[in-house]
Amino acid sequence: MSENDESAGISRRTVTKAMAWVVPAVAVAATVPIVAASACNDFNPENPCPITLSGTGCKLPGNSNSIYKGYAFRLVIANPTGATITVNVTSATLDGNSLGGIRVVNLNDGSSQGNPFTVPPHTTYTAALLTQNAPNSSNGALSITYTVNGGAPMVANATIPSAPPINGNSCSTFNSTEKGYIAAQ
């Protein structure tokens, strides 16, 4: 049979050309699930994203609170798994600038959590991420990097369009009870 014998159907050359395209496509397709598996997912109990940022926050200016020259950002912390997880916030930046020390306050009951902190199984609560000794008081792109149970770093991002001072009525991110919890830190 010749290489281009029409009666035989598809030629060997055509099969060879097709194989040259199929093999790289299979290799590329095989890497996609690996990348997807390393990303956290709120719906995957094996690899949850426990921190979700609301995109809102207030400044902690001057000596207005015991924690000052920082921010209070609203977030939700969730653990959909059946086991306690440990969350360690490794950095918090605003427009690439470090926001200094970090503390988490459970806004449901006012309890303070250091860093790292644990989240009981099947628990979701609203919290405030408090920072201290920020280099300036700007608004911008908030980025929080953290690990769960010492695993690979995860990142939560949000744009903070404004961050008014926490004292007074201009900060509507937190109600008066929540502001009291924050001030007690």
Q: What does each of the 185 residues of the chain score in pLDDT, given as a tens digit?
A: 444 444 555 555 444 444 443 333 333 333 333 333 334 555 455 555 789 888 899 888 766 555 667 889 999 999 988 999 999 999 999 888 888 888 899 999 999 888 899 999 999 999 999 988 766 666 788 999 999 999 999 999 988 888 888 887 889 999 999 999 988 88
Q: 23-51 burial, b for 16+ CB within 10 Å, e for fewer?
A: eeeeeeeeeeeeeeeeebeeeeeebbbbb
- The answer to whether the predicted template modeling score (pTM) of the entire model surpasses 0.75 is no
How many whole angstroms separate alpha carbon 126 and alpha carbon 77?
A: 6
3-class DSSP state of 176: helix
pLDDT value of residue 43: 47
